[in-house]
Structure 1
Amino acid sequence: MPLTAISGTYQIVGFSPDGDTVCFVPDDPGAFAAAGLRPRVTPVGAIHLRLDAIDALETHYKPHSWHQQPELGDGAANALLDLLGFTDVQWDERHRVSAATPKTRPGYILTGFVDKYGRAVSFAFAGMRAGGTKDPVYLEVPELRRSVNHQLLGAGWAYPTFYSKLYADLREELATVSVAARAAKKGVWEHDSALTGFELKSQDQLQNQLVILPKLFRRLVDYFLSEDTSGVDLAGFATFLKAQDDKLFTVPAGQATSFAALVESRRQRLTLTVPPEQLVFVEAPPKVLPKVPPEA
């Protein structure tokens, strides 16, 4: 499946970008519709992008603004904005950008689908595309290396998180740079606790000290919110994780399994038993909005 190239501007003032999401305003307001895509559009015409194949530490997740280790989470957000060409970025107390130089930056994206939250899953680039944006694009590794996705992964600012729609050659390239970043202990890999295993002691430890795969962090937060507790008792976490039914297959083995089967849980100790670059998740189906019955 080819990708669609869309030119536009990145807009960050008034928004809350993080290490893998940013807002984008297409030059042609009808570009997404012409590609058969229906992302959610903000009142100012911006589209939320979800950067493909990477997952940065959470800076504001769900109610109460759950976050991960701030130095690396905020660092990834700033690294993304720097790669897009923004400087002097200022943040307010709600983690929204209040000012930046310049206020917008030109760029383009390569996208092929919209996720269940209405975000355009994309490879993002600064500047103009040498090959133009009129024709369908079969993304190849040389152009992939110029994406901010690739650069953030190579610098260790994000974990690899692959889904089945990602082409195998692109996935292999991104896995290679991620393994190199881990070997060099860059960014998240200097402090990662998921692969070595960690003892969960408090919610403060989870948010301000531990560095783990963001998908595992989100599942832990979802579990604690479902339990409506301020503690971190993991007695029911394995059952909860299994119920989420996060389907995936491993590479190169090609084993179909679930995320729950690869997270070892022993009392308060959790361990991710397979490196994240060997996991390929199956996309969740789009959310279906309930039908509104006609008025009587």
Structure 2
Amino acid sequence: MTMLLINGSFQVKGTQPDGDTVHFTPDDPNEWGLLGNRGHSVKHDALGRATLRLDAIDALETHYGPNRVHQPLRFAHAARDELLAWLGFTNVQQGPNETVTAATPATVPGFILTTGADVHGRCVALVGRGASRDSGGVDIDVDVAILRTTANHHLLTTGLVYPTFYRSLFPSLRTELTAAAQQAQTAPGQGLWPSDGTTTGAKVTGLSSLTDDAVILPKLFRRLVDYLQLSDPSLACFPAYLAGVQDHFTILSTGRRCAGLHNVVEITNGQTVRMTRPPEDLVFDEA
């Protein structure tokens, strides 16, 4: 799979990183312009600093939406801390609202491999640490060997994040990431998987169920939060809500194309939510 290589550095002070989001500044900010014909433009400041979303993974939320709703923080913070440590940051200190107030060093070198931005202007990327052996601003072929050197792959092997795939990711890379996730799922006591209720069922009696107890796929969490903030705690209308949101995706095991997560979500006993397919069996369309 061909992706654009951009060399630069990561910074965390004054930002709110989580397990799949971090800030990056290219050595040459003009290289963002090389993505101009690949979909959405990357939003960045005058120095070129932009928000990255790590491709193919989803970490539990530390501050979702205007009300800053979080998932169980034990795993949300563990994923964030693992990403920052892997990149090379130490002595990371957080103040109010998950904002980093200090870190050593102030920046760490790294590089990204990307095909563009999401609808919010965040660069969607595979993330590498240290100096790249290649010059930036060029397209390179990304194979499984390169993928295994990225933070995206590493976080899946720790079991601290969920696989969440989009159509732009090449199938061979998706296959490798699926294998990494499934190995973590079967490893004794690995990461969040012993607590995961995505396919086994999570009891939802209100917002506190999601913030304090339920360890579930963040995409499902976000849909539940948005629904509960519009309605009463009853989940009776949640399938209809999902049908209206119309997430478009393909179920890999069957080849079925779907519009709406209601196709793979069921409610039992009026309070228990579960997905009928595992996250790695779904490939979502980009918005």
What TM-score, normalized to structure 1? 0.92
Paired residue for 1:104? 107
Q: Which amino acid aligns with 1:99?
A: A
Q: Hey, what does 2:33 align to over in structure 1?
A: 33
Aligned to 2:257: 256
* 1:115-144 per-position Cα deviation (integer Å, ceiling 9, x unaligned): 000000000010112233343111100110
Q: 1:211 aligns with which of 212, 215, 240?
A: 215
- Secondary structure of the structure 2 residue equivalent to 1:252: coil
Normalising by the residue count of structure 2, what TM-score does the alignment of the two structures yield? 0.94
Q: In structure 1, what is the Cα distance between the partners aligned to 2:227 and 2:271?
A: 14
Give the corresponding residue for 1:294.
none
The code of the aligned residue for 1:21 comes to T
**1:25: Cα distance to partner?**
0.5
What is the distance in 1 between the residues matched to 2:22 and 2:162? Answer: 17
What's the offset of the Cα at 1:114? 0.7
How far off is 1:94 after superposition? 1.5
CA distance in structure 2 between the partners assigned to 1:189 and 1:55 by the alignment: 14
Work out whether residues 251 and 278 of structure 1, in 8 Å CA contact, stay in contact via their aligned partners in 2. Answer: yes
Decide whether the 8 Å contact of 2:34 with 2:137 is kept in 1.
Answer: no
Amino acid at match of 1:201: T
Give the conservation status (yes or no) of the 8 Å contact 2:202–2:216: no
8 Å CA contact retained: 2:3, 2:113? yes
Q: Report the secondary structure of 1:83's partner residue.
A: helix
Q: Does 1:21 align with 2:25?
A: no
Quote how far apart the aligned CAs of 1:44 are: 5.0
Match of 2:238 in 1: 237
Q: SS in structure 2 opposite 1:283? A: coil
Aligned partner of 2:163: which letter? P
Q: Which amino acid in the other structure matches residue 279 of structure 2?
A: P
Corresponding letter in the other structure for 2:250: F
Q: Which consecutive residues of structure 2, in runs of 5 or more, have no partner in the other structure?
A: none
Cα distance in 2 between the residues matched to 1:50 and 1:25: 14
Q: CA contact under 8 A between 1:9 and 1:108: conserved in structure 2?
A: yes
1:102-141 map, 5 Å: 102-141=105-144
Mapped contact 2:207–2:225 kept (Cα < 8 A)? no
Cα deviation, residue 43, structure 1: 5.3
